[in-house]
Structure 1
Amino acid sequence: MFFRKVEDAASAGVALAPSPIARTVAPIAIEELSHFKTFADVPKFQKALSAGIRPLIALPQEVREKVVVVEQPGRIALVVQADVDRSQLESIKGKLREHNYALRVATADPVVIRDIYQGAGEAGDVDRSARAGNEFMKESAEWVAYAVQNRATDIHLEVRGSIGVVRVRVDGELEAMKGPNGGRYTAKFMEQCMASLFNNDQQSKSGSDSLFDKEKFLYCMVPYSERGLSLKLRFQSMKGNEGPKTVLRLLHVDENQPTLTFEQLGYAPSHVALWEQAMQTPSGMVLIAGVTGSGKSTLLKSFIELNPNTPRSAVSTIEDPVEYPIRGAHQIPIQRDLSDGKESAKRYAETIGALMRSDPDIVMLGEIRDHFSANAAQQLAETGHMALGTVHAHLLSGIVPRLVNPEIGFSRQILTAPNIATLFAYQALVAKLCPACCMGTTEASQHDLSVATIAGHMKTLGIDAAPMRWKRIGGCTECRQRGTVGLTVAAEMLMPDEEWLRPIREGRDTDAVEVYRSRSNGRFDDPDMTGKTVFEHTLYKALAGQVDARQCSRFDTWHRFMLHANRRKQPS
C-alpha cells in the first residue's frame, strides 16, 4: 500500500474543540492512504471501532454510510470515508487522538465501506440486499469454474482476521486467484460461502456434521454439476486463530471419462510391467504410498478398471468418503468419527465382517491408518484375497516403518510372511514444463546458480545435459504465466521377494534399501526404472526435457545422490 505523510489537521491550524485530554497529546502525523476501489485494497484490520453495541466511534446512520473506522495492529486507527463532511471527519480524528490511536485516513467507494462493515461481522443498518443468499452459491460456483479452467486440483478458502482469501493449487503450487479483487473478500462473506457449501450443497450421508461450525473440523462431499462439468468437491474445514479455513479438492467424477492408463499417468515401462504382474496375482496386499494430493486414489481407480480380472471378480471398496465412481466395483461409504474411536471401530468392523461374508475377490480399503484397517488388510491377504490400500509414507523405504509403528501395528513377521505383500509403490506428482517457454541450461544458469551446479553433476556422471530444460519464472501466454502445463507421476516400485524380505524381517531396513538399489542398471538416462528411486525417475524425465531437474531435491539432496552414484561407479 503506497501512502504519503501529511500533517495532522490540528498542527495545520484547523480550529477544533478538543477535550482537555486531547490537549495533552502531541500532534501526530497522519498517514494518508490511496483510494480504495475494492475491498481487496483494504489492509488487514482487527475490528471496527465504529460498529458494535457500544462502538468507540458512535456515528449516526447517515454518516455510517459514508465512513467506517477500523483498528489495525499496533493501535492504529484507519478512517475510511466517502465524501464525508470535513467537520465530521475532524471530530472523528479528535476522538481517536483522545484514545491515543495513531491515525491513517483513506477514501473509498461507498460499496467498500459497506464491505468493511460486513467484514467486521456487523452490517448494522447498512443495506444487506447485495448479499442475497444465493450470492454465496454463485460466488462459490465462480471459484470452481476458475479452478477447472486453470487445471487446479484444490481451492483454499482462508479467513485471516477481517479478510477472506481464495487461492488455488495449480501444478503442485499454491497461487492467488487472479481477477478484479485478487481473490480477496470480506471475512464474513467467506465464512458464509463456506457455510453455504456445507449446509446446503453437501451430498447425503457424506458429512461429519449437519451444520457448518467454524470452531470444528468438518468434512463432506459436495456434488457440482454446472456448465457441463461433473465434479465432487471434497470439503475439509479447520478452525484457526484468525478464522476458519476450508480446502476443496476437485474430483472429476464423469463416469464416461476414459480410464487413465499407467503410461498416461507417467509410469515407466518397467513400472507398468510390475502393475500388470500384480494384476495377475490373486491375493496379497498392494499398497500405494505418497503424500496428500499425490494421486493415490486416481491410481487405485486405474488399477481396478484396467485389471483384466475385474469383470469376472467381486470387487468392493470401503471409502471415507467415496470420491470417484469406479467401474466394476461395489463402493461402500463409511464415516469414521475421529472424536469417537469406539463407534468408528464398530462401524468399520461391521463393514469388514459383512464383506468377508460376501464372497469378495478384491477389496480396496482406502488408507491403512490404524489397527482396524491394518487388521482388515491382513485378514484379506491371509485368506487369499487381494487387499488394495494407501499409506501416508514418504518414499518406498518409509512404507514398512509406517506399517509397523504402534499407530498401525503390523508385525514384521506377518508383513514378511509368504504371499502377504504383493507390491509396494511410492508415487509423487511433478510439474511438467511448458514446451513453449522452458529455458535451456545456458539461459537458466544466468538466473539460478543451482542450474549450473546440476549441469556440472551430469558432466561428472558422463551424461549429456543438452536436452535438459528449466522452468521460466513468469511463464508465457501458452501456460498462463506459470511455466508449467500439468503434472506427471514420478515413482519407485518394488515387488517383494525373499532377498528383500529377509532384512525387513530382521529390522535391517537400511540393508533392504541397498538390496533394492543393487538391482538398478546405474544408467540415469535409461528408461528402465528397476531398482531406481523417485529421485532418479524425476532425473530421467528431466534429462528428456519434460520436467525441471531442480524438482529432484523434493525427494533427496543432490549431495547424497552424487555420493551414491559415485560409489556405484567405483570398482568393487
Structure 2
Amino acid sequence: MLEQILRTALARRASDIHLTVDSPPVLRLHGQLVRLEQDGRDLTLTPAVLEDMLQQLLTPAQLEQFRERGDLDLAYSLPDGARFRVNVYRQKGYPAVALRVINTSIPSFHDLGLPEVIARLARLPRGLVLVTGPTGSGKSTTLAAMVDLINREQAVHILTLEDPIEYVHRHKKAVVNQREIGHDSLSFAAALRAAMREDPDVILVGEMRDPETIAVALTAAETGHLVLATLHTSSAAQTVDRIIDVFPPYQQQQIRVQLANSLQGVVSQQLIPRADRQGRVLALEIMVVTPAIRNLIREGKTYQIISQLQTGGKFGMQTMDAHLRHLYQQRLIGREEVLGRAQDPESLAKML
C-alpha cells in the first residue's frame, strides 16, 4: 500500500504526503491539502497499517531509534530511484509520517526562474550566502541549483552537510562529497568542525540550527570558504537579527562584526499559488551585501536594510513586497495572496 500511495503522489505531482491514523493519505497539491480517494474505497489508515508502513520505511536500527526518540529524519528511495525526504514522528501515541517528494533531476536556474544575481552569489570565491524562507518554500531546491552551477563550472571540492541528503549530486567539474547528519556525522556542528580539515572550497550547511553551528559557519566563511546555508526567516533584515540574537549579549558585538565581514548575500523566498493556472510561483527578496549594508550590520541598524534593498536595484537587490507587486501586475498571483504575504500590506494595498 505504501508504494501505491507514493506512486500516486508522484503521478499527481504532489509536493508532500501525510500519513496519520484515522485519516486517508493526504497529498499537498500546489500548496493545498487533498485527501486521497480511490473508487469509493475507505483508505483510512489504521494503527496496524501505519506500523506496517514503518517496517517498510525504516531499517531495524532506525526503527529502534524512532522508538527511543519519538521522531526521526531520513531519506527513502523507491526501486526506480524516486526519492523522498521523510520525517517519522509520534502523535497521541501513534506513529505518523510526513514525506517530501525530492526531484531526482536537479532543476536549472532557468527552470526555477532564478535571476542572474543568485548565480553571481554562487560564483563567489568566499563568504556566507544564505537562502531563507518558511518550510516548503523551495530553499533546498534553490541551494541544489547553486551547487549544481558550481559543480558544472568550477574544479573545486564541494562538501554538503544535510539532514537527510536530498538531491544527489554527481561529480562533474567539481568533486562533491555529501555527508548525512545522524549517519555520516553526529551533528551539523561536529560535521562543520571536521569540514575545516577536509579541504573544501564550498560548504553547504543544510540548516544553521544552533549558536555553535552558526559560529563555525561564520569562521569558515571568514577563512576563505564559500558557505551556503539556510535559515527559517522571512526577510533579509530578520535573517541578520536572528543570527545575532541566538548568541548571548556579551558575544553579539563580536558576531555582528564577523557577520558584517563575511556575509555576501541573503535570498528570502516564498512559493505562492498561481492565479493563472495550477502550480506555484517563486517570490524573492534579494540582498547583496554592499559596504553600506556592512556598516548597518556592524552598527546594529538592521532596520535601515529595507531602504538599501529598495534603492539597490543596480546590484540586483529587490524587496519581497516589490516582487509580489511585480507578480501581481503580471497577473501571476491574486491580490489576496499579495496582501497576505506582504511585509507591509498597508503600503502595498495603496500601490495596488
* Fold equivalence (TM over 0.5): yes
SS in 2 for 1:335: coil
Partner of 1:430: 272
1:214–1:239 CA contact under 8 A, matched in 2: no
Map 1:129-528 to 2 at 5 A: 139-159=1-21, 163-181=22-40, 184-199=43-58, 207=62, 209-210=63-64, 213=67, 216-226=70-80, 230-241=81-92, 243-253=94-104, 257=105, 259-267=106-114, 271-272=115-116, 274-307=117-150, 310-328=153-171, 329-335=176-182, 344=186, 348-349=189-190, 351-406=191-246, 411-417=255-261, 420-435=262-277, 484=278, 486-519=279-312
Unmatched segments (≥5 aa) in structure 2: none
Q: Quote the Cα distance in structure 2 between the aligned partners of 1:358 and 1:336.
A: 18
Q: RMSD over aligned Cα, in angstroms?
A: 3.0
Q: Quote the Cα distance in structure 1 between the aligned partners of 2:155 and 2:239.
A: 31
Q: Quote the Cα distance in structure 2 between the aligned partners of 1:363 and 1:536.
A: 31
Counterpart residue identity of residue 155, structure 2:
R
Given the alignment, which residue of 535, 540, 545 partners 2:331? 545
Percent identical: 23
CA 1:512–1:431 in structure 2 vs 1: closer, same or farther (change >3 Å)? Answer: same
CA 1:378–1:211 in structure 2 vs 1: closer, same or farther (change >3 Å)? Answer: closer
Q: Quote the Cα distance in structure 2 between the aligned partners of 1:403 and 1:326.
A: 29
1:344 CA displacement: 4.2
Partner of 1:452: none
TM-score using structure 2 length? 0.86
Unmatched segments (≥5 aa) in structure 1: 1-138, 338-342, 436-483, 521-527, 567-572
Counterpart residue identity of residue 153, structure 1:
S
Counterpart residue identity of residue 250, structure 1:
V
Q: Quote the Cα distance in structure 2 between the aligned partners of 1:503 and 1:321.
A: 36
1:501–1:512 CA contact under 8 A, matched in 2: no
Q: Quote the Cα distance in structure 2 between the aligned partners of 1:535 and 1:529.
A: 17
CA 1:284–1:507 in structure 2 vs 1: closer, same or farther (change >3 Å)? Answer: same
Q: Quote the Cα distance in structure 2 between the aligned partners of 1:558 and 1:353.
A: 42
1:530 CA displacement: 4.5
2:73–2:164 CA contact under 8 A, matched in 1: no
Q: Quote the Cα distance in structure 1 between the aligned partners of 2:247 and 2:231.
A: 12
Q: Quote the Cα distance in structure 2 between the aligned partners of 1:238 and 1:294.
A: 22
Higher Rg of the two aligned structures: 1
1:361 CA displacement: 0.8
Counterpart residue identity of residue 286, structure 1:
V
Q: Quote the Cα distance in structure 2 between the aligned partners of 1:240 and 1:157.
A: 11
1:142 CA displacement: 1.3
Partner of 1:561: 348
Count of residue correspondences: 343
1:266 CA displacement: 2.3
Q: Quote the Cα distance in structure 1 between the aligned partners of 2:119 and 2:65.
A: 45
1:491 CA displacement: 0.4
Which of the pair is proportionally richer in helix?
Answer: 2
SS in 1 for 2:258: helix
Counterpart residue identity of residue 36, structure 2:
M
CA 1:186–1:503 in structure 2 vs 1: closer, same or farther (change >3 Å)? Answer: closer
SS in 2 for 1:239: strand
Higher relative contact order (CA 8 A, sep 6+): 2
SS in 1 for 2:58: helix
Q: Quote the Cα distance in structure 2 between the aligned partners of 1:164 and 1:182.
A: 13
2:19–2:45 CA contact under 8 A, matched in 1: no
CA 1:237–1:182 in structure 2 vs 1: closer, same or farther (change >3 Å)? Answer: farther
CA 1:403–1:145 in structure 2 vs 1: closer, same or farther (change >3 Å)? Answer: same
1:323 CA displacement: 1.2
1:198–1:212 CA contact under 8 A, matched in 2: no
1:423 CA displacement: 1.4
